[in-house]
Each structure stands twice: as structure tokens, then as C-alpha cells.
Amino acid sequence: MSVTRRDFLKLAGTIGAGAVLGTYKSEIASVFAQAADDGVKLVWLQGQGCTGCTVSLIQGTHPDLYDAILKLHVDIPFHPAIMAASGKEAMDTLDAVKPDILVIEGSVPDAEYCEVGGRPFIDVVKTMAAKSGVVVAVGSCSAFGGIPAAKGNPTNARSVSEVLGKTVVNIPGCPPHPDWMLLVVASVVLGIIPELDDKGRPVAFFSEEIHENCARRGYYDRGDFAKDFTETDMSYEKCLWKVGCKAPITRADCSVRKFNNGVNVCMNAGAPCIGCADPGFPDSASPLYVELEKVPTFVGIDTDTAGKVAIGAAGVGIAAHAVRRGIKKHPKSKEE
Ligand code: FSX
Ligand code: SF4
């Protein structure tokens, strides 16, 4: 079965790109082959980050990076971690290229804290964005500030959209799932700008809270909560809410997409979600292993989180107080 570009657009528009891409993993390769023969120029910049986003990218399987480059006809003249060139040769390449897609990994601090080829990273970001087609911010650092912008923020780390003063395609996650990065790039190459939410995230991947489709959701609904980390193994049949799971306020499709080639996801492995894809991460999720309602930022101090709860209350997702009421109502809940 092959999927034409027209089918792809039609399906993506009706049932969501995520569902299309998940269902037609192998067929998507045939769509890639229809991409322009000219080649698409993609430049990848790295600022304040840990390179985890790039490491995640190269674990991609649907498509893998090889397919993405060869079948999408993507030319990547500049990527600090994987290109062969270095020094002046690398910077000359950067100066010469006019990218169709500019991908930025890592947050953007004040000029003195981060340089690329001896130039302030913030200047390189602005210069390259001005001559690029689509700007994609990968990772929570680039999309929302992330760990470098955590409380205190001594380097004045900011997101790409803050620095550029405009909306970009944001793919959060620390790190993001490789599918999110590769499939967004695939869409852009095919001329499809993914539908974005009010925080610039592709709705195909970030429209529901992770909690909605968690394999432990039944234990949550029954009020069976792990009391500590001696009960987080899946065999205990407990929900991780009380050991700090942040999935009820974190939007992403991790529960169904899973990581490591679809093998597993944090909660199934006994680790509560730490909310790494949340716009307020890490402050909104800290302390990481403390029950959500005991996290100070969650009860209204943090304006971003407060806004998100309001969105949930409007019907898009779970509202904090609805979560709490749901637990309290249950006869087995220890909160009663
Ligand atoms: Fe940030 Fe990329 Fe977290 Fe790391 O560099 S999103 S720290 S996984 O990898 O930017
Ligand atoms: Fe799963 Fe966490 Fe929700 Fe419990 S609170 S059902 S572990 S996502």
C-alpha cells in the first residue's frame, strides 16, 4: 500500500498527523521519495543543552535518520555534533548556507555565556533565523527555556521564540521523542506546516495529557497508589501519582508512542513522569518525586501552570481540582 502526498495531507487533516504517521510507518517512506529532488537544506544549531536531543534523534526508527536524510533528500551542511567539518571550514559553511529549515537545540543565554565558532550564540541564532524558512525549536530548552532557564537562571537563558520575538515550531521534551523531530521535519519537507497549539507545539503529538493513556490509569481510577518507590514495579499494580507523577499536567503522546523503538515509557518502567515536556519544566515539576498537589508552583504561584490548569478546566484536559476530586471520591483513597 502506498500513500500519496494528497492522501497524506487528507488523512493528516482529518484524523491528525500523529495517527497517520503512526499507522503508516513503512508507507511514509514512499511519501518521502516524492519530496523535491533539489534537496532541502537543514541547519542544526546547538546552544545551552546537553546534546540529548541529538542523541534521541539518532535513535529514531520510523523513519531512522538514514531514511530521513536520503529519502527526504535532506542536506544537513551544519550540525555541530555530527558534521565532519570543524573550525573555519564549518563556520564558512554556515555563512554560505540559506537554510530551508533551521533547527535549534538548547536555550539561548546572554551573549557572554554561549558561543558558536567564537560568535555569541544569540547572534548566530538571529542571523540564521533571518535567512531561514521554517524555524524549529527542539527540546524543552529551546522551546521553553528548560533546565538552563530554571529558577535562578544566572545566564538569562531564554527560549528561541522569546529571543526571536515570534512563534516557531516548538517540540519540547528533555529529550523529545525522535518521531516528533523527524516527523515534523518530514511534514515541513512535504510542505505541511503542522497544526500548532497556543504554545507552538504540533497538536498531533501534544494535544492530550500523558496520563490519559497511561497503562496504570486503571489503578489511578481505582485509587490504588504506590506509597513509595518499593511499590513502583508494574507487578504491584499501583499508580505513581503519590510518588510525584507529573503526567496529569504534561501534554505529549509518550504513553502510546513509547520510547526506544516503542518498547517502553517512564511510568511502565516504574518511574513517575517528571513533566519534561511541560512548558514550565523543571520548575513546574519540582521537586520531581513529590505529589503534584504538594508542589508549590502547582497551586497558583506559577502563572504558566495556572494558565494551563485553566485550559484543562475549559475541557481540553484534566483540571487539577477534578483530579483531586476524582481521587477523593474513591472509597479506597487514603485521602478520605
Ligand atoms: Fe535540553 Fe538538548 Fe534536555 Fe538535553 O541539547 S531538552 S537539556 S535532553 O539535549 O536541549
Ligand atoms: Fe499513570 Fe501517572 Fe496517571 Fe498514575 S498519575 S495513571 S502513573 S500517568
CB 284 within 8 A of CB 292: no
What positions carry a catalytic annotation?
50, 53, 141, 174, 211, 214, 239, 245, 254, 266, 273, 276
pTM beyond cutoff 0.85 = no
**Separation of 211 CA from ligand 2 center, angstroms?**
5
Pocket probe for ligand 2: among 210, 211, 254, 278, the residue whose CB has the most ligand atoms within 8 Å is: 211
Task: Please tell me the residue having the least CA distance from ligand 1 atom 3.
Answer: 174
Q: What is the pLDDT along the chain (336 residues), one digit of tens a residue?
A: 344 444 444 444 444 444 545 554 444 444 444 444 567 899 999 999 999 999 999 888 766 777 777 777 788 899 999 888 999 999 999 999 999 899 999 999 999 999 999 999 999 999 999 999 999 999 999 999 999 999 999 999 999 999 999 999 999 999 999 989 988 888 887 777 888 999 999 999 999 999 999 999 999 999 999 999 999 999 999 999 999 999 999 999 999 999 988 899 999 999 999 999 999 999 999 999 999 877 665 544 333 443 343 333 322 222 222 232 232 333 333 332
